[in-house]
Structure 1
Amino acid sequence: MNRQNAYRFLPFPLNNKWILLFLMIGLSLGAYSQQRDSLLSKPITINIKGATVYQALNQIGDLADCFFIYDSKDVKSDKKVQSLEVTNKPLIDILNQLLSDPAIDYKVIDKHILIFRNELNQKKTTVEVADSSGFITIGGVIYDKDTKSPIPFSTVVIEKLGLGTISNFEGLFYLRIPKKFAKTNIIVSHLGYENLSVPIEMLEGKTYKLYIQPRYIPIQEVFIRNIDAKGIVKSAIENKDINYYNSNIYLTSFYREGVKRNNKYLGYSEAVFKIFKSSYQTGTEFDQVRLLKSRKIELSERSDTLVVKLKAGIKGAIDLDIVKSMPDFLDPEFMDNYIYTKNDIISHDSRSAYVINFEQKPNIYQPLFSGTIYIDVEKLTILGADFGINPKYVETSANLFVLKKDRKITVKPENIWYSVKYRQWNGRYYIYHARGDLSFNVKERRKLFSNTYSLFLEYVGFQIDTLNVERFTRRDILRPNIVFSEENYTYDSEFWKDLNFISPEEDINKAISKINLKIESIENEQ
């Protein structure tokens, strides 16, 4: 018989009102011919030796004042370039010489050049261009331009529209867009990077690589020294009513949660909710959740003697709105338990943001939080935070998490970490992305080896509505403190249709493909 073990998770130990969650153990070029000819005929002089194609394209882009977009299947960016030395030649000639592929063609919109293989009857891969529902789907992988490392949790939104998504842990995103917005741009942003604006038309058909540039803000040491870090945090809290929504809003949101044992998935659930988000002058207890669609994947074996499940993950995602439901490090009543220090000033959405670090005072020995808060320099708005249980005391925090467990089981928390991001829409901010990652070492009595269980929850509010917002009826509300993975669902062959979601990471996709997976889904009428 399986033993089901339950754990309580109190992320903010000193403040009893802040209880987060519980645990149980073909492309057309005709319209752009003039624009294309103008940029591609631009004369360039360059001398490159021993670089990669990626490095060469970066140098060419800097000289031509343009950006390149391409699929890694079309352009071998890691290929070495022995020598490329040209003087005052058209850009298109240089690109043709560099890439040496007669099937390569180019599409130009503004300063963006799409490099693609123009083969007859070429099949679209990975991303569907358009369908009869009136939507198009675009996708990409977001990388750091300097390091070429994927950037997780980057924000991707349609310009001047309250619709967007977030990249997954591997930098991958997909976004379904009404066709009427096909002529607009997406904006890719991340703390510490310059915003990247890309025409949606550039991204139809494949999963393209998008590189964003780190942005460093030089600042005089005397200015840094005069920053009152704790005072900035207090001011940001005092400005809550003027910087965040003071009226009710709807957030159409994607939610997912998963459980791993020793890095192998045991369960994965995902859903789309419509959330009634009450004014930021109230607490999260006034927020409501309505389930639109959900599914789950179970990979645990019947022979498993230990079952670990996530309870109240939905409530956890809602309560991670740290501006509405303040943790101890933001609550004036408990801020004296922490030390706040300035760290840096970084870029965020073309604005500057303070980076404020915090940790518990050395004379406090119970497990509190440590982490980083990002605050807009001009508006003194909390833009986000990364924080977790202080690593020094995380092993002693088991009593804060254990709700119920078998006496033969020993549980030690190993890592508790959260990330929260806010987004501005029409001059006001709201929670846009939240993620929690928790890992525990679990040892059964009389067993030689222990197991590491990792749990995560993630939320992104991909569409905001501010008109005709009313509370849901009682029968439409989903109880946020349920064990979401235990809900019963029925199969739906066309699951997500027109809804946006976070693309599963590669290891999740591998887990889904196993023979013994069980997929269940549900669609509730709106």
Structure 2
Amino acid sequence: MNAKLSNPISGKSSLLFFLSFILGSLQIYAFQPSAKAFNEYKGEVVNERTGRPISSAYLSLNNSNISTITNADGVFSLKVPEDMTEATVTISVLGFQSKTLPLDYFKPENTRIELSETMEELTEVSLYKATNPRLLVQDMLDKKDENYLSDQSIMTSFYRETIKKGWSNVSLSEAVVKIHKSSYKDSKKDLVSLYKARKSTDYDKLDTLALKLRGGPFNTLYLDMMKYTEYVLRQGMMDSYDFSFDEPAKINDRYTYVVNFRERDESDPWYYGKLFIDAETSTLVKADYNLNVDNRNAAQEMFVKKKPNGAKVYPTELNYQVDYAQNNGKWHFAYGKAQMDYVVNWKRKIFNSKYKINSEMVVTDWQPYSEEEFKMNQELIRPNIVMVDDVSGFYDSQFWGNNNIIEPEKSIQNAIDKIKRKMD
């Protein structure tokens, strides 16, 4: 999975996803979490003006490292230790004013949180008057060691991977993972161990193929631009991008520059997107970007590693998102999301098959690194892992215990309900 920096394409293929269309097996080891007493609060975050759900809203338990995020339906579940009854929760998301609420505002079910849209006009007077977007991005990279976690940590994260064929979910994978997050000053790769996992795949709907996504949790972890700068905005590639300012924004009540970036060389798959950079500290706090894959042959060669004879397989759309959170003045990876659309064209079939692959991971807790504790529990997984089948967890309502997770979206929940009915 290492990038060859002399070849920009190898960097892209190392960062992103590999598909395999051949059946295989891989054993996953997992250790069980210890049970702790907690209270669970469920609800939704909505737009105060329209009542529409707000996705990817970040809920952070203040004076702790506990957090979670809303799903596409604006729904959340937040698990809090019983001894933290006096805590407060901050809810924040791009384009809305942040809100801090006492924990006693939350209910076991049906908590409704309304956020107001950010109406303030963000003029140049409000910001710190950066005039050159390229120099701003360079300053962002130069201040990485200053702005991001300099100590090792152990992060608890929830990972979900779904594969849809048309409108039907055909594969569901979920896991709680432990990440040994090395310092942002260090070139060492992060280590990952599975804490608990479950998966179900309906192979009958996969064109008799076992579509496997290699990488598992690493696929979203490697979206951490500031840890893995060699993949997208590597220092030697700054001259390969065009940069321009977009309208500024506010995230978590902080002013941010919005910088558009776009690769100049469009002969191969190429990156473009937006960087959200904190105006005061030049910290990257969010990025939304894409990989253009109009060149089908190059895209197929880059991403599809195995496929059956008589089929053409290629990606048609690749979208990525990464968010960072702040703790004690230092920033760290908080959320990563990737959405990929694929087409399978069969030689003797009139209609092709369209697949949508979603992968996301949210950091729900983190602690200072303890070598003894991590070594005692670790069963490390490889960066090319393929999640294997283990459907038992889907009919266990207490499967995740006290771990914070991303609530399933409606379509995913429907698929899980079907799995449960099959088990009965």
CA shift for structure 1 position 164: 0.6
CA 1:302–1:162: 2 relative to 1, 3 Å = closer
Q: Is residue 198–residue 390 contact of structure 2 (8 Å, CA) maintained in 1?
A: no
Question: For structure 2, which runs of at least 5 residues remain unmatched after alignment?
Answer: 22-34
Give distance in 1, aligned partners of 2:195 and 2:78. Answer: 18
The correspondence for 2:87, drawn from 184, 192, 209, is 184
Amino acid at match of 1:400: M
Q: Which residue of 1 aligns with 2:344?
A: 442
Could you tell me whether the CA contact under 8 Å between 1:141 and 1:210 is conserved in 2? Answer: yes
**Which of 447, 451, 456 is the matching residue for 2:353?**
451
TM-score, normalisation: structure 2: 0.87
Q: Secondary structure at the match of 2:210?
A: strand
| Partner Cα distance (2:131, 2:380) in 1 | 44
Assess if the C-alpha contact under 8 Å between 1:395 and 1:414 holds in 2.
Answer: no
- Secondary structure at 1:181 match in 2: coil
Match of 1:337 in 2: 240
User: Residues 291 and 517 of structure 1: is their aligned pair in 2 closer, same or farther, counting only changes over 3 Å?
Assistant: farther
> 1:166-220: CA deviations, max 9, x gaps?
1111111101101222222110001222111112111123222211122234304
Mapped pair 1:14 → 2:30: no
Match of 2:143 in 1: 239
Query: Are 2:281 and 1:281 equivalent residues in the alignment?
Result: no
Q: Say yes or no: does 1:383 pair with 2:383.
A: no
Please state how far the C-alpha of 1:506 moved relative to its aligned partner. 0.3
Match of 2:109 in 1: 206
Contact 1:267 1:297 in 2 (8 A): yes
CA distance in 1: counterparts of 2:372 and 2:165, whole angstroms: 42
Cα deviation, residue 487, structure 1: 5.3
Q: Which residue of 2 aligns with 1:266?
A: 170
Q: Distance in 2 between matches of 1:427 and 1:225?
A: 22
| SS of aligned partner of 2:104 | helix
One-letter identity of the residue aligned with 2:387: S
- Alpha-carbon contact 1:291-1:477 (below 8 Å) kept: yes
Could you tell me which amino acid in structure 2 is paired with residue 456 of structure 1? N
Instruction: Give the aligned partner of residue 20 of structure 2.
Output: 24
Pairwise CA distance, 1:396: 4.9
- Residue by residue, what CA displacement relative to the aligned partner does 1:353-411 show, whole Å, maximum 9, x if unpaired? 111111122x5422110111111000000101011112655775222111111231112
Distance, in Å, in 1 between the alignment partners of 2:230 and 2:158 is 24
Alignment check: 8 A CA contact 1:432 1:461 kept: yes
Pairing 1:415-434 to 2, within 5 Å after superposition: 415-434=317-336
Out of 406, 420, 440, the position equivalent to 2:308 is 406
1:371 — aligned with what?
273
Distance 1:284 1:477, change over 3 A: farther
Is 2:387 aligned against 1:485?
yes
Query: Cα 1:391–1:262, aligned 2, differ >3 Å: closer, same or farther?
Result: same
- Superposed, 1:60-79 pairs within 5 Å as none
Q: Are the structure 2 counterparts of residues 451 and 15 from structure 1 closer, same or farther at C-alpha, using a change threshold of 3 Å?
A: closer
The letter of the residue matching 2:142 is: E
Aligned equivalents of 2:155 and 2:127: distance in 1? 39
8 Å Cα contact 1:189/1:196 also seen in 2:
yes
Q: Report the more deviating stretch, 195-204 or 214-223.
A: 214-223
- Counterpart for residue 163 of structure 1: 66
Residues matched between the structures, number: 403
**2:37 partner amino acid:** G
CA contact (8 A) 1:394 1:415 kept: no
- Indicate how the Cα distance of structure 1 residues 223 and 482 shifts in structure 2: closer, same or farther if over 3 A, else same: closer
Distance in 2 of aligned mates of 1:475 and 1:222: 48
Give the structure with higher Rg (CA).
Answer: 1
Contact 1:24 1:310 in 2 (8 A): yes
Partner SS for 2:229: coil
Question: Considering only aligned residues, what root-mean-square deviation do their CA atoms show, in Å?
Answer: 2.9
Matches within 5 A, 1:304-315: 304-315=207-218
Q: Deviations along 1:446-497, whole A, 9 cap, x unmatched?
A: 0110011111111111101025356844983332334433255765843111
User: Where does residue 26 of structure 2 map in the other structure?
Assistant: none
Residues 243 and 339 (structure 1), Cα distance of their counterparts in 2 relative to 1, 3 Å cut: same
After superposition, the C-alpha distances for 1:401-428 in whole angstroms (9 at most, x for unaligned) are 1111123111231110110000011111
Equivalent position to 1:499, from 400, 403, 421:
403
Q: Is the 8 A contact 2:47 2:53 kept in 1?
A: yes
What 5-or-longer segments of structure 1 have no aligned partner? Answer: 1-7, 26-131, 520-526
Mapped to 1, the partners of 2:117 and 2:157 lie a distance apart of 29
Measure the CA separation in 1 of the matches of 2:217 and 2:228.
15
* AA partner of residue 89 (structure 2): I
Structure 1 position 276, deviation (Å): 0.6
CA distance in 2, matches of 1:317, 1:340: 25
1:138 to partner: Cα distance: 0.9
Which of the numbers 410, 418, 422 marks the counterpart of 1:514? Answer: 418
The verdict on how the C-alpha distance between 1:231 and 1:153 changes in structure 2, with shifts beyond 3 A counting, is: same
Distance 1:507 1:324 in 2: 33
Structure 1 pair 407–435 and aligned structure 2 pair: CA distance change class (3 A): same
2:92/2:99 contact within 8 Å kept? yes
The residue matched to 1:324 in structure 2 has which SS? coil
Structure 1 residues 15 and 224: alpha-carbon distance in aligned structure 2, compared to 1, 3 A threshold: farther
1: CA distance, partners of 2:213 / 2:421: 19
Alignment match of 2:257 (pick from 354, 359, 365): 354
TM-score norm. by structure 1 comes to 0.71
Question: Helix, strand or coil for the counterpart of 2:196?
Answer: strand
**Could you tell me which residue of structure 2 aligns to residue 36 of structure 1?**
none
| 1:175 corresponding residue in structure 2 | 78
Is 1:254 aligned to residue 158 of structure 2? yes
Q: Residue 223 and residue 499 in structure 1: after superposition, are their counterparts in 2 closer, same or farther (change >3 A)?
A: closer
